[in-house]
Amino acid sequence: MNIKRISREDIDKSKWNSCVHYANNGNVCGYVWYLDALTKDWEALIEEDYGSVFPLIWKKNWLGRKNIYQPELIIEGALYSENILSATRMQHFFEAIPTEYKSLKVNISNQAKIPNNLGFKVEKLSRRQLILNQPYDGLQDGFSTAFHNQLAKAADLQLQPASNLKPEKVVDFYKAHAKNYKKENYYAYLRIMYNAMHRGWGFANGITNKKGDLLAVYFFIYSHGKIMVLLPATSKEGKAAGAAELLLSMLLQTHANKPVYLDFNGFEDIGIGSQEQVYYQVSK
C-alpha cells in the first residue's frame, strides 16, 4: 500500500474533496475548505491517487513538540476512504504517521476496523442522530413528554421563526448563551458558516418572542445525507418558553419523509427521540 506524506500547500484540492465526497464515511468536516477554516496547521497522508486521505491536524505544546489532536468542531474524521476501512488499511496509515508527532488523538468512524496490535488506546464514544424518512406524525411519536409540553408553551407564547440571520449574529448569540463557546474559535465559526452558506449547504434558524427578541438559534449544514447541527444556543428565556423545541419541530416538519439524518454532532438531543451512533477515539 503506497502512502505518502504531503504538505497542505501541495494537496490537490479537487482530488482530495472528491475522495471525501465519495468516501464511505465522508462528512463535511473532511473537505479542504472546512479544515482550512479551522486551522492552517495541518498536513496529510494520502494513499495512491487520493483513494484514501488522512488529515494530520497538529499543534505544538509548551515544549514545542508537535501533537496530532481532534478539533472540537470535527466530531468524527481522521481517515476518509473510497475503499473499505479494513484493519490492514488502518494499520498501514497509523504506522505511516511521522515520528515527529509525539502524541495523537483522533476520532474515527465506526466503519473502521481498528487493529488490536496498534498499541493505541481505543475508546468507544457515541453521538445522536435521527432518520427523518417518515411523516412528521411518525416523528412526533418519538418526542418526549417534556418536548411536547415545551411545544405547547411556545404556541401559547406565540413564538415566531426568524430567518436570514447573519453568521455574526449566530456567533454572538452562541457566545452569550452557550457553555461550549470558545473565544479562540470565533473566526473559525464564522469561516465555516460563510463557506457553507456560499456553497448553499448552510442555513441558520432562529426563534423570537413577540417583541422580536432572539430566543434560540441553530446553524445547520447539509452534507452526505445529513443535516449537521452547528452552534446550537438557547437563552434563559428561550429555555423556559420552548424556543429550541419549536425550532427543531419546524425543521422536522420541513424535512419529514426525506432520506436524511439529523446529526446532533455531539450536541444535546433535547427530546426528539434520536438514536445512538457509535464512533471511536484513538489516542497514544
User: Which domain CATH number covers 223?
Assistant: 3.40.630.30
Nine cell digits for residue 226: 445529513
Measured over the CA atoms of residue 154, residue 160, residue 163 and residue 168, the dihedral's sign is: negative
How confident is the model at residue 117, as a pLDDT?
Answer: 83
How confident is the model at residue 62, as a pLDDT?
Answer: 86
How confident is the model at residue 49, as a pLDDT?
Answer: 95
Same domain, 100 and 75: yes
Domain extent for 235: 128-276
Same domain, 32 and 104: yes
Same domain, 92 and 134: no
**Total of domains in the chain:** 2
Smallest CA-to-CA distance from 233 within 195, 152, 165, 179 is with 179
| Distances 239 to 149, 150, 167, 219, 242 between C-alpha atoms, Å | 12, 9, 22, 17, 6
Long-range contacts of 185-189 (CB under 8 A, 24+ apart): 185/72, 185/73, 188/37, 188/38, 188/39, 188/73, 189/73, 189/231
Same domain, 73 and 17: yes
Domain final residue, candidates 91, 119, 147: 119
Q: Do residues 232 and 217 make contact, with C-beta atoms less than 8 angstroms apart? A: yes
| Distances 145 to 128, 142, 246, 273 between C-alpha atoms, Å | 19, 9, 14, 11
Helix, strand, coil distribution of the chain in percent, nearest 5: 35, 30, 35
How confident is the model at residue 164, as a pLDDT?
Answer: 87
Give the distance from CA 169 to its chain's centroid: 20
Instruction: Count CA atoms within 13 Å of residue 237 on its CB side.
Output: 13
CB neighbour list of residue 129: distance below 8 Å, 6 or more residues apart: 226, 261, 262, 263, 264, 274, 275, 277
Same domain, 100 and 196: no
Q: What is the DSSP letter of 10?
A: G
End-to-end CA distance of the chain: 23
Same domain, 132 and 272: yes
> Going along 73-156, which residue ranges are E strands?
80-81, 101-109, 121-131
Query: Distance between CA atoms of 248 and 49, rounded to whole angstroms?
Result: 41
Residues of the chain with pLDDT under 50: none
Query: Distance between CA atoms of 37 and 191, rounded to whole angstroms?
Result: 5
Domain final residue, candidates 74, 96, 119: 119
Query: Distance between CA atoms of 43 and 60, rounded to whole angstroms?
Result: 14
Same domain, 231 and 132: yes
What three-state secondary structure class fits 136? helix
Query: Distance between CA atoms of 74 and 265, rounded to whole angstroms?
Result: 8
Confirm whether 284 is domain-assigned. Answer: no
Phi and psi torsions of 186, nearest 5°: -50, -50
Instruction: Count CA atoms within 13 Å of residue 221 on its CB side.
Output: 26
Confirm whether 283 is domain-assigned. Answer: no
How confident is the model at residue 77, as a pLDDT?
Answer: 84
How confident is the model at residue 109, as a pLDDT?
Answer: 92
How confident is the model at residue 163, as a pLDDT?
Answer: 87
Same domain, 97 and 132: no
Confirm whether 257 is domain-assigned. Answer: yes
Query: Distance between CA atoms of 236 and 255, rounded to whole angstroms?
Result: 28
Same domain, 271 and 132: yes
